[in-house]
Structure 1
Amino acid sequence: MKRLISVGLAAGLAVMAVLAGCSSAPEKIRIGEVTRSLFYAPQYVALEKGFFKEAGLDVELSTIPGGDKVMSALLSSGIEVALVGSETSIYVSQQGAADPVVNFAQLTQTDGTFLVARKKEDNFSFDQLKGSVFLGQRKGGMPQMAGEYVLKKHNINPQSDLQLIQNIEFKNIAASFASGTGEYVQLFEPEASRFEQEGIGHVVASFGKESGTVPYTVYMTKQSYLDSKAAAIQKFTNAVYKGQQWVASHSPKETADVIGKYFESIKPDILENAVKRYLDQGSYATDPILDEAEWNQLQDIMDKAGELKQRADYAKLVNTTFAKAAKEGK
């Protein structure tokens, strides 16, 4: 009888252990990033430093090229969280989505592209672009809209004052310029730094500095997921904030060393220089709060590009509750 009791007790304890293990299992969140970019350095730091794990999350990262494809994955529940430009949430809203896509944590706060000239120009002015062949970004995407916004700010009509090329796929733009297409090109890092090192081109201006502070790349999810998984979203946002603070308080070399595994084809010195360039111009948001002034600036840029049907409601498409709580340490 004692043996039966002991066996029963042992079995009961085993079941309890299993149940306890299940209850403490990390929450899985799948992120779909629109591209692999060192522009997203705080995210990779959060992954590599274990900030998501410390928060009790099992984060799976995948790269899904194209904002439309990222949104499709999010809306079909192929991923839980999208990392993409805020303009995509506005496009979804304009299509009358029953389950709105909500921005809850900002990662980058400026455009990430630079104007690269084929020839070195020590005293560059935007007037020099007139009559030139300009290799721009995809129409309707945030890089192209920010680029056109800056050109118009300098009294340049992108459609009539220069020869604008914008039918080349994002992944092929740098290669096209390197092979001889265009006199100027709009590039992200690390391609801009690599071109300078290899003598292919020279950075003459920053679209990030010129276009102002905007919610350029943001974590977003469906309203229904936000409602049902609020605790997980808070943990996620807390981890993102730790990544942002880590990048802000460490040297470009330290950040480059941590994120190097995500960019194995990039030379360490180029990676470091690119991180420094983004840090110097304040591209990495130091907290995840997306404020209304940034939201309005984004819509001004979209409006000037002819891509905004109507102004989008900040209160409907942005939720700062989680970001503010993360910053306050709650």
Structure 2
Amino acid sequence: MTKRSRTPWGRLPAAVVTLAVAAPLAACGSQASTSTSSGGGARITVLRSTGAIFEPLYIAQQQGYFKDAGLDVSVKAGAPDTSQNAPSVLNGEAQFAMTDGSGFLKGAAKKLPIRMVSGLVSSTAKGARTEGLLVKKGSPIKRFADLEGKTVGLPALGGNVHFVAEYLVEKDGGDPSKVKFVALPVTSLNDAVSTGKIDAAYTFGAFYAAGQATGLRSMGNGMNELPGIPQGVLFSSQKYLSANAATAKKFIDAIAKALTYANEHPDAVKTIDKKYTQLPADYIDKSSIAHYDKNINTTLVRTMITKMNEYGLLTSAPKDDALYWNQAPTVTSSS
């Protein structure tokens, strides 16, 4: 399939364009060294998503994994479109931030000096679905090709769910360029489908479970069609990592422990969701949690780059040496 001539800037929010302009200025003032707290621990700020997949960050705090590693970590909510967290990392306001795989690739395609340091969640066939496309129960939309000419709501344009939605339309024989994608707050997507403001919504986490609980119908296998796609990753600036490799390694090792704990203690994950999301507790209690995974599948990331470039969601196709920290837990697959 040849790359489409659609201009990617027309499909992405204005804030993403701003990121490309602001980042070089931010990089000039990047703070490479880590300060220490009054207790002597290396002080780190990490920006989380406002939607989901951030739970292991709080688990690492609660279980003392950061403290045991000599780290004083503050977790703060980042931008609604997590790809916009890059300027904060580049100018030293935060040392690490999370985004989805596509959000990171948007920054890498603009040659921002950022690197993935750890995975959080990847698509997997293990366990119950935790993301997908939702439509009204009686909707005439029965397959992804039926989305041609329809309006689909997304948490952000250009992110993982945008990429996967286009991929699934194409895989089903449809033309993704004929689908209108719009960005809405993740908390509003289900209501927008129910009231007919949009024809369908692609959502995730507890919001996906909540939509099903209200009677919306889920379609297809979602990201399970591409097992290994990074749904959540942590990244930092290349300058910070070069100057603070030992501290960064302690941080990702603490995160790895938290990911294992989260997989073994789903109730702990749901307790955090009840505190930091706007969803009713009963929806959260009934929902399935994601399968957390530190590994970043470089084979699937390369597939994302190729397809996103075709769809006009990336401005270029970055090479592997512009993507990963040299101590990041990466794996390859034959997928």
- TM-score bucket of the superposed structures, by smaller chain: 0.7 to 0.9
- 8 Å contact 1:27–1:57 — kept in the other structure? yes
Partner of 1:223: 238
For 2:153, which of 131, 135, 142 is the aligned residue? 135
Q: Residues of 2 paired with 1:258 and 1:294: CA distance? A: 29
**1:61 matches 2:67:** no
Paired residue secondary structure (1:60): strand
Partner of 1:262: 276
- 8 Å contact 2:114–2:235 — kept in the other structure? yes
Task: Please report how far the alpha carbon of residue 272 of structure 1 lies from its aligned counterpart in structure 2 after TM superposition.
Answer: 3.5
Partner of 2:307: 301
Task: Please report how far the alpha carbon of residue 124 of structure 1 lies from its aligned counterpart in structure 2 after TM superposition.
Answer: 5.0
Task: Please report how far the alpha carbon of residue 146 of structure 1 lies from its aligned counterpart in structure 2 after TM superposition.
Answer: 1.6
Q: Residues of 2 paired with 1:67 and 1:248: CA distance? A: 24
**1:183 matches 2:189:** no
More displaced stretch, 111-120 vs 310-319: 111-120
Partner of 2:120: 107
Equivalent pairs counted in the alignment come to 288
Q: Residues of 2 paired with 1:257 and 1:22: CA distance? A: 28
Amino acid at match of 1:108: V
- 8 Å contact 2:95–2:240 — kept in the other structure? yes
Paired residue secondary structure (1:77): coil
More displaced stretch, 207-216 vs 51-60: 207-216
Flag as ranges the 4+ runs of structure 1 deviating above 6 A. 21-24
In the TM superposition, 1:29-44 aligns within 5 A as 29-37=44-52, 39-44=53-58
**1:291 matches 2:297:** yes
Partner of 2:61: 47
Q: Counting helix residues as a fraction of each chain, which structure ranks higher?
A: 1
Amino acid at match of 1:174: N
- 8 Å contact 1:133–1:165 — kept in the other structure? yes
Task: Please report how far the alpha carbon of residue 171 of structure 1 lies from its aligned counterpart in structure 2 after TM superposition.
Answer: 5.2
- 8 Å contact 2:228–2:297 — kept in the other structure? no
Percent of aligned pairs sharing the same letter: 19
Partner of 1:203: 218
- 8 Å contact 2:229–2:297 — kept in the other structure? no
Partner of 2:31: none
Paired residue secondary structure (1:308): coil
**1:83 matches 2:98:** yes
Partner of 1:192: 208
TM-score (norm 2): 0.75
Cα-to-partner distance string for 1:199-226 (whole Å, 9 max, x where unaligned) = 3x12233422123322232111111110
Partner of 2:22: none
In the TM superposition, 1:104-183 aligns within 5 A as 104-110=117-123, 113-119=131-137, 124-129=142-147, 132-160=150-178, 164-170=180-186, 172-183=188-199
CA RMSD of aligned residues (A): 2.9
Cα-to-partner distance string for 1:271-311 (whole Å, 9 max, x where unaligned) = 243334x34xxxx21xx232321321221331232123433
Contiguous gaps of at least 5 residues in structure 1 = 1-20, 325-330
Contiguous gaps of at least 5 residues in structure 2 = 1-35, 125-129, 331-335
Distance of aligned partners of 1:194 and 1:86 in 2 relative to their CA distance in 1, 3 Å threshold:
closer
- 8 Å contact 2:119–2:232 — kept in the other structure? yes
Amino acid at match of 1:84: T
**1:315 matches 2:315:** no
Partner of 2:248: 233
Distance of aligned partners of 1:126 and 1:78 in 2 relative to their CA distance in 1, 3 Å threshold:
same
Q: Residues of 2 paired with 1:72 and 1:157: CA distance? A: 34
Q: Which has the larger radius of gyration?
A: 1
Amino acid at match of 1:314: D
Task: Please report how far the alpha carbon of residue 94 of structure 1 lies from its aligned counterpart in structure 2 after TM superposition.
Answer: 3.5
Task: Please report how far the alpha carbon of residue 254 of structure 1 lies from its aligned counterpart in structure 2 after TM superposition.
Answer: 4.5
Partner of 1:74: 89
Cα-to-partner distance string for 1:70-95 (whole Å, 9 max, x where unaligned) = 11211221111111123444433433
- 8 Å contact 2:89–2:97 — kept in the other structure? yes
Partner of 1:4: none
Paired residue secondary structure (2:304): helix
Q: Residues of 1 paired with 2:55 and 2:82: CA distance? A: 19
Paired residue secondary structure (1:108): strand
Task: Please report how far the alpha carbon of residue 136 of structure 1 lies from its aligned counterpart in structure 2 after TM superposition.
Answer: 4.0
Paired residue secondary structure (1:159): helix
Q: Residues of 1 paired with 2:82 and 2:151: CA distance? A: 26
